[in-house]
């Protein structure tokens, strides 16, 4: 989810329950934080503790994306 509003956290739909986040985004690719590895649990999503980016596992209870 790309937006020009820096107050809205970025959302990324992923296909694996283990993800890495370094804070770089489409909006601010040069900015970031130390790379962290996150595990998506039974809720179907996880949020980065540094940048609040939300990773949603496709097909999980949290997946509200339109069917592709």
How many angstroms from the chain centroid is the CA of residue 40?
10
Enumerate the domain spans of the chain.
11-57
- Structure confidence at residue 1 (pLDDT): 46
- Structure confidence at residue 17 (pLDDT): 97
Predicted confidence (pLDDT) per residue in 26-53, tens digit: 666 667 889 999 999 999 999 999 989 9
- Structure confidence at residue 32 (pLDDT): 81
* CA dihedral for 4, 6, 55, 45, sign (positive or negative): negative
How many angstroms from the chain centroid is the CA of residue 26?
12
The yes or no reply on domain 11-57 and CATH 3.40.190.10 is no
Q: How confident is the model at residue 6 (pLDDT cuts 50, 70, 90)?
A: low
Which residue reads 């949603």 in tokens?
Answer: 56
- Structure confidence at residue 13 (pLDDT): 95
pTM of the full structure:
0.77
């Amino acid at each position: 989810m790309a937006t020009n509003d820096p107050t809205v956290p970025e959302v990324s739909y992923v296909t694996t329950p283990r993800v890495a986040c370094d804070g770089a985004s489409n909006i601010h690719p040069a900015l970031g934080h130390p790379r962290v590895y996150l595990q998506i649990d039974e809720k179907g999503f996880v949020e980065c503790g540094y940048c609040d980016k939300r990773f949603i596992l496709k097909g999980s209870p949290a997946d509200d994306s339109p069917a592709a």
